[in-house]
Amino acid sequence: MSEDLNQVAGAERRVKPWPGRLKLLLRVVVSAALLAYLLTVTIPAEDLGKILTVFLTADPFNLLLALLCVLADRFLSAWKWMLLLRVREPDLPLLPVVKIFFISTFIGYFLPASVGGDAIRAFSLSRINRDLAGSATSVVIDRAYGVFGLMAISSIALIPAIGAYVSPTDAAVIWALTAAALAGVVLISSRTAYRWFTSIARLRKGGLIRSKLTKLVNASSEYAGRKRVLVRVFSYSMVVQVLRVLLGVYCGAALGLEVDLSIYFIAMPIVAVVTLLPISVGGFGVREAAFIYFFTRAGVPAYACLSLSLLYIAMGILVLVPGAVIFAFWGIGKKGAK
């Protein structure tokens, strides 16, 4: 395990010059500034003590349901990724993929980049199948369908809430983001698009760059036209997003919050999307601001919104335990052996 950590750390030192360190510093500043603003301006001073004390009365049954949602989310997400991987490797066993998925969830939580876990997924799998292009492509497609599923659920749920909890301007922004996500999914699922990508790759000068682009395009093109697989991936993506909404619902119920169910279906996907933005460290500050923005409109006090965000994070941290245990005994994949 220490050898794997040293390898990752060494790679990070090689690829993170001063511009990368400056970006990390800016993300830390953004997270700290947002959290400071929320605690000093948004939440009244007399309510600060209530942020953590509300956990003392949390309902254990709803906490258990929330934890089950997180676990179901992780296992179903791993299976969804497996469907994509078996397009290129029909005999790829399930167990190593599940291990890699939980390890990447664990390590990615501590990386400053919002897509750090995805990078770990691609790297770990490439140590097993020696196919970095195919591994990276599967992760990108998996992420694209997941984001589209997030936005689709939010776009549908906000329709009856326009004017009450959501302004027409906010609705227009969400629908525009959904359209962009749909365009991305169509692009990576189109044979015509890959013909364009192939032409672009051929125009690139330089043997190494051209070789890398060609490998990526060839790996990606195998998914174009696989409608049955892609429909199943999208269906599982929708189920995963519903599980994440239910996680918010059960966290809110555990804290005794009385919130309309539609608010969760509108807010939770947007919270997940803004957390992915590479402007903060692990989404801290941005996620809490999103919780407060949406749930205060439903009549929830700002301190309770922050408590809900903290409980939501805590459920995610609990599910890191399996990944930590697997990483301790297995490292970042066993090189060259399935």
pLDDT in tens, 179-195: 988 888 887 776 666 66
213 or 165, greater pLDDT: 165
- pTM exceeds 0.85: no
Residue 57 lies in a domain: yes
E strand spans, 2-51: none
Cα separation, 154 vs 156, in Å, equals 5
DSSP 283: T
Residue type, 147: V
Q: Give the up-direction half-sphere exposure of residue 49: CA atoms within 13 A in the CB hemisphere.
A: 1
Which residues are CB-contacts of 218 (< 8 A; sequence separation ≥ 6)?
A: 133
Residue 338 lies in a domain: no
Residue 211 lies in a domain: no
Rg (CA), the chain: 21
Phi, psi of 162 (to 5 degrees): -65, 130
Beta bridge partners of 225: none
Cα separation, 146 vs 150, in Å, equals 6
44 or 204, greater pLDDT: 44
Residue 131 lies in a domain: yes
Residue 103 lies in a domain: yes
Residue 20 lies in a domain: no
CA distances from 11 to 4, 26, 208 (A): 11, 21, 20
Residue 206 lies in a domain: no
Beta bridge partners of 166: 162
Least Cα distance to 251 among 64, 66, 51 occurs for 66
Cα separation, 35 vs 10, in Å, equals 32
DSSP 298: G
Residue 100 lies in a domain: yes
Per the prediction, the chain carries an average pLDDT of 79
The pair of structure tokens assigned to 249 is 């619902």
Domain that holds residue 137: 2-8+52-189+225-330
Q: Is the pLDDT of residue 121 over 90?
A: no
CA distances from 281 to 129, 172, 272, 286 (A): 31, 28, 14, 9
Q: Is the pLDDT of residue 247 over 90?
A: yes
Q: What share of the chain is helix, strand, coil (3-state, %, to 5)?
A: 80, 0, 20
Domain count, the chain: 1
